[in-house]
Amino acid sequence: MFDKPNFVKKILVLFIVFVVPSVGYFLLKTGENIYKPLRVLGPKEVASTFHKVKGKEIPDTIYHQVKMYPQEVKNHVFLANFLLDSNLAANKESNEQMARLVHYFSKNPEVRFVTFSANPNYLTDSLKTDNWLVENNDQLILANAAKQQYLLNEIQIDSVANTVVPSRRFVLVDNQQRIRGIYLIKNRFNVDSLIEDVKVATVEMLRSQNKMK
């Protein structure tokens, strides 16, 4: 016997799963703002140049940009983290979370991942992939870059004692080297929120590139 209520429910489920995402993608590609733009973090200043919006001149803004990053991530959205001390448990947790994110975005050519490590042993070679880069450098150099460029202000540096209190946060950087989010990964909700922000940053990049064509 034909069960009409169940049939209608199935149709609605299929519509939500397959049609709604397609409509959302179409609206994004056609320029409709159906998502909340990400903040640009860090200091900023008003530039002497202008751009036009609906015929009105709007002053440009000069945003804080990171300067230290591998050239392979230039013009890409990338996620960075820092391994600055020998805390095995904390480093293991950071590596596992990064590996999860790398796997999730493995088919997205616009997203890259960078781990800055004060010691090669903090991240084993077996974890590296084509889109997950590892930059090894001196602990104090990395700590200062993390604090000053990547805005990880909770890092504490004692250059006399040569010690560092690290940060376990992840930093989202867009294709213009601007910081768009800083995240402390503690549970699945934090990771899911970060994943959505990476998607938004990627969409913003693609839309800006389309406008330039």
Query: For the segment 138-191, what is each residue's pLDDT rounded down to a tens digit?
Result: 999 999 999 999 999 999 999 888 889 999 999 999 999 999 999 997 777 788
CA distance 27 to 21: 10
- Does position 129 have pLDDT exceeding 90, yes or no? no
Structure tokens at 83: 């391994």
Domain ranges of the chain: 69-212
First CA to last CA distance, the chain: 57
Residue 195 sits at φ, ψ, to 5 deg, of -60, -45
- Does position 23 have pLDDT exceeding 60, yes or no? no
Average pLDDT, integer, range 179-205: 89
CATH class as words, domain 69-212:
alpha beta
